[in-house]
């Protein structure tokens, strides 16, 4: 097999890159380890930045998002139970859209297959080769035996546990990491969301988040310990903790019900530098991980492949290497600013066991300044809705 861009990973990054390349007349093949059903079955958050929404809409992927997405002009912050709204729309003229990553992925798969795109599912033992030469290739195994895809470039869109980043010799890649001393315990429930907008809560007992998937499907999170056991968290205990941390207004109106999904997620910040190795380029979670607090994961993957698709187009269309030579630097500038925001927001909202009392007072001062200052709220809002594409 041969193509111009061989893409490892058929999640949001790989699918969107293939879609954007197709619109530029550039051929690509996606090699995905899992089955289509598995990829489409992954439940993932989806708070889409304005730039993400605009890019999807501009490239023919906006129809269902416009019908089913929930446009939010603001978010709320609950500080020890007191609610404060950040008016994103008034401060930035932009909004965010709640539209599950699962739905974005389904829309992308549908668009690629409708356009005749090639997505290889259930590819085993995927490996990448020759990315320091002019003839890179991707190999894998299917029931039909060994396969090889020859390509001009490889895009590593295979997520944090993929094969591309580990294929780079240790001396050529540097990883920056911060692990947070807590997890998020999340539940999905077929209940009406407690508020029309998201509520991020900072409470002495710990962080909580009230989100949603639709007007009838709520998504809640509470901060929990690293050694949390799901058996220790029956639904009733979770609802009680949410009522406490979200505050009295929410406690009075929240609709409780059985959880239809309950899971624990770790929080960490990771950045791998650089994001380009010869003819192999990393994009999305393959290169970086953000804590979910700022809802940046999907949006960073979109921003990476937006730059990478244009870089490939400049190469194939104009014979220019300017885009591919500057990709890593340009992508990392946005990645690190999203890391900064996600780390800062996480630092204000979570309980840090063992922290001195002074630290909690500092958190409260940060949040008091955030919610009481137009300048602080504006700075927050421009990060939350998404910084301008560089
Ligand atoms: N070979 C082929 N495919 C692989 C391999 C491999 N060795 N390893 C992983 N994959 C696939 C996964 O099955 C997945 O479908 O690569 C895809 C990576 O997708 P994501 O992990 O979703 O990463 P990305 O596309 O960058 O999207 C980032 O997804 O995980 C969330 O929070 C993250 O919202 C962010 C978004
Ligand atoms: C979610 O709805 O799952 C969600 C929303 C916002 C976040 C994280 C997760 O910051």
- φ, ψ of residue 101 to 5 degrees: the values are -60, -35
- Distance between CA 381 and CA 383 in Å, rounded? 5
Question: Do residue 154 and residue 40 come from a single domain?
Answer: yes
Question: Do residue 169 and residue 24 come from a single domain?
Answer: yes
71-84 mean pLDDT: 97
70-94 mean pLDDT: 98
Question: Do residue 217 and residue 253 come from a single domain?
Answer: yes
- Which residues, judged by CB distance below 6 Å to any ligand atom, belong to the binding site of ligand 2? 45, 47, 198, 211, 219, 292-293, 295
Whether 24 shows a pLDDT value over 90: the answer reads yes
Decide: 312 and 153 in contact? Cβ < 8 Å. Answer: yes
> Of 99, 180, 220, 384, which is the active-site residue?
384
Buried b (16+ CB within 10 A) or exposed e, 282-302: bbbbbbbbbbbbbbbbbbbbb
Distance of CA 384 from the midpoint of ligand 1 (Å): 23
Q: Where is 240: in which H helix or E strand?
A: helix 235-246
Question: Do residue 128 and residue 251 come from a single domain?
Answer: no
- E strand intervals along the chain: 2-8, 28-31, 47-48, 70-72, 75-79, 82-86, 96-98, 118-120, 124-129, 137-142, 145-156, 174-189, 199-202, 208-214, 217-224, 259-273, 276-277, 280-282, 288-289
Determine, yes or no, domain membership for 80: no
384 is catalytic: yes
Whether 301 shows a pLDDT value over 90: the answer reads yes
Ligand nearest to the CA of 283: 1
- Residue percentage of the chain with pLDDT more than 90: 97
54-72 mean pLDDT: 97
Distance of CA 390 from the midpoint of ligand 2 (Å): 25
- Distance between CA 305 and CA 299 in Å, rounded? 10
Distance of CA 45 from the midpoint of ligand 2 (Å): 5
Whether 43 shows a pLDDT value over 90: the answer reads no
Q: Which numbered atom of ligand 1 lies nearest the CA of 13?
A: 25
Question: Do residue 57 and residue 98 come from a single domain?
Answer: yes
Whether 390 shows a pLDDT value over 90: the answer reads no
Decide: 287 and 174 in contact? Cβ < 8 Å. Answer: no
Structure tokens at 52: 């993400």
Determine, yes or no, domain membership for 286: yes
72 is catalytic: yes
Number of domains in the chain: 2
Question: Do residue 58 and residue 203 come from a single domain?
Answer: no
Whether 117 shows a pLDDT value over 90: the answer reads yes
The whole-number pLDDT of residue 243 equals 98
Ligand nearest to the CA of 97: 2
Question: Do residue 290 and residue 321 come from a single domain?
Answer: yes
132-158 mean pLDDT: 97
Structure tokens at 169: 């010799």
**Model confidence at 46, in pLDDT bands (50, 70, 90)?**
confident
Determine, yes or no, domain membership for 226: yes
Atom 4 of ligand 2 has which residue's CA nearest to it?
45
Question: Do residue 213 and residue 99 come from a single domain?
Answer: no
Determine, yes or no, domain membership for 206: yes
Distance of CA 213 from the midpoint of ligand 1 (Å): 21
Place of tokens 């730039």: 51
Q: Which residues are bridge partners to 286 per DSSP?
A: none
Determine, yes or no, domain membership for 161: yes
- Give the pLDDT confidence of 176-234 residue by residue, as tens digits: 999 999 999 999 999 999 999 999 999 999 999 999 999 999 999 999 999 999 999 99
| CATH number (domain holding residue 202) | 3.30.9.10
- Give the pLDDT confidence of 303-318 residue by residue, as tens digits: 999 999 999 999 999 9
Between strands 96-98 and 47-48, the pairing is: antiparallel
Structure tokens at 165: 């980043």
- End-to-end Cα distance, the chain: 35
Whether 265 shows a pLDDT value over 90: the answer reads yes
Decide: 30 and 118 in contact? Cβ < 8 Å. Answer: yes
- φ, ψ of residue 278 to 5 degrees: the values are 65, -115
- Distance between CA 96 and CA 46 in Å, rounded? 10
> Of 19, 72, 288, 350, which is the active-site residue?
72
Containing domain of residue 209, as a range?
180-266+351-385
Ligand nearest to the CA of 199: 2
> Of 19, 22, 203, 296, which is the active-site residue?
296
| Best residue among 221, 265, 297 to mutate for probing ligand 2, ranked by most atoms within 8 Å of CB | 221
The whole-number pLDDT of residue 45 equals 82
Question: Do residue 315 and residue 222 come from a single domain?
Answer: no
Question: Do residue 59 and residue 150 come from a single domain?
Answer: yes
Provide CB contacts within 8 A for 276, sequence distance 6+.
282, 324, 327, 328
Whether 82 shows a pLDDT value over 80: the answer reads yes
- Which residues, judged by CB distance below 6 Å to any ligand atom, belong to the binding site of ligand 1? 8-14, 31-34, 39, 44, 101, 123, 126, 157-159, 161-163, 284-286, 297-298, 301
Whether 48 shows a pLDDT value over 90: the answer reads yes
296 is catalytic: yes
The whole-number pLDDT of residue 44 equals 85
- Neighbouring CB atoms inside 10 A of 85's CB total 15
Atom 6 of ligand 2 has which residue's CA nearest to it?
295
Average pLDDT of the residues of the chain: 97
Q: Which numbered atom of ligand 1 lies nearest the CA of 283?
A: 26
Question: Do residue 51 and residue 120 come from a single domain?
Answer: yes
Structure tokens at 383: 């990060």
Ligand nearest to the CA of 187: 2
- Distance between CA 161 and CA 228 in Å, rounded? 23
Distance of CA 28 from the midpoint of ligand 1 (Å): 17
Q: Which numbered atom of ligand 2 lies nearest the CA of 212?
A: 2
**Model confidence at 377, in pLDDT bands (50, 70, 90)?**
very high
141-150 mean pLDDT: 95
Whether 42 shows a pLDDT value over 90: the answer reads no
Indicate whether this model's pTM tops 0.85: yes
19 is catalytic: no
The whole-number pLDDT of residue 374 equals 98
Whether 47 shows a pLDDT value over 90: the answer reads yes
366-388 mean pLDDT: 97
The whole-number pLDDT of residue 361 equals 96
Determine, yes or no, domain membership for 84: no
Question: Do residue 262 and residue 140 come from a single domain?
Answer: no
Distance of CA 358 from the midpoint of ligand 2 (Å): 29
Atom 1 of ligand 2 has which residue's CA nearest to it?
45
């Amino acid at each position: 097999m041969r193509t111009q861009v061989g893409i490892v990973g058929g999640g949001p990054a790989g699918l969107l890159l293939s879609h954007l390349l197709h619109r530029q007349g550039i051929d690509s093949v996606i090699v995905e380890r899992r089955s289509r059903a598995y990829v489409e079955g992954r439940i993932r958050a989806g708070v889409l930045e304005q730039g993400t929404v605009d890019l999807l809409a501009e490239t023919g992927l906006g129809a269902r998002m416009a019908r089913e997405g929930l446009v939010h002009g603001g978010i709320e912050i609950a500080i020890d139970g007191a609610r404060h709204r950040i008016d994103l729309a008034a401060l930035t003229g932009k909004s965010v859209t709640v539209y599950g990553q699962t739905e974005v992925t389904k829309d992308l798969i549908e668009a690629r297959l409708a356009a005749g795109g090639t997505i290889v599912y259930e590819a085993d033992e995927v490996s990448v080769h020759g990315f320091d030469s002019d003839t890179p290739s991707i190999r894998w195994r299917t029931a039909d035996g060994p396969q090889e895809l020859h390509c001009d470039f490889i895009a590593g869109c295979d997520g944090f546990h993929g094969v591309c980043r580990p294929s780079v010799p240790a001396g050529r890649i540097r990883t920056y990491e911060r692990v947070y001393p807590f997890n998020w315990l999340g539940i999905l429930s077929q209940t009406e969301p407690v508020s029309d907008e998201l509520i991020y809560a900072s409470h002495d007992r710990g962080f909580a988040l009230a989100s949603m998937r639709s007007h009838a499907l709520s998504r809640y999170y509470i901060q929990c310990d690293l050694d949390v056991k799901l058996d220790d968290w029956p639904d009733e205990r979770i609802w009680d903790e949410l009522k406490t941390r979200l505050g009295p207004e929410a406690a009075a109106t929240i609709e409780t019900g059985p959880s239809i999904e309950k899971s624990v997620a770790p929080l960490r910040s990771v950045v791998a530098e650089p994001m380009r190795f010869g003819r192999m380029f990393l994009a999305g979670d393959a290169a970086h991980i953000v804590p979910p607090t700022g809802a940046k994961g999907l949006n960073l993957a979109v921003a990476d492949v937006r730059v990478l698709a244009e870089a490939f187009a400049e190469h194939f269309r104009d014979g220019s290497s300017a885009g591919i030579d500057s990709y890593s630097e340009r992508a990392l500038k946005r990645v690190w600013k999203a890391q900064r925001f996600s780390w800062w927001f996480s630092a204000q909202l979570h309980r840090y066991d063992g922290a001195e009392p002074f630290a909690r007072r500092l958190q409260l001062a940060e949040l008091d300044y955030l919610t009481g200052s137009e300048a602080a709220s504006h700075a927050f809002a421009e990060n939350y809705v998404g910084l301008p594409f560089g």
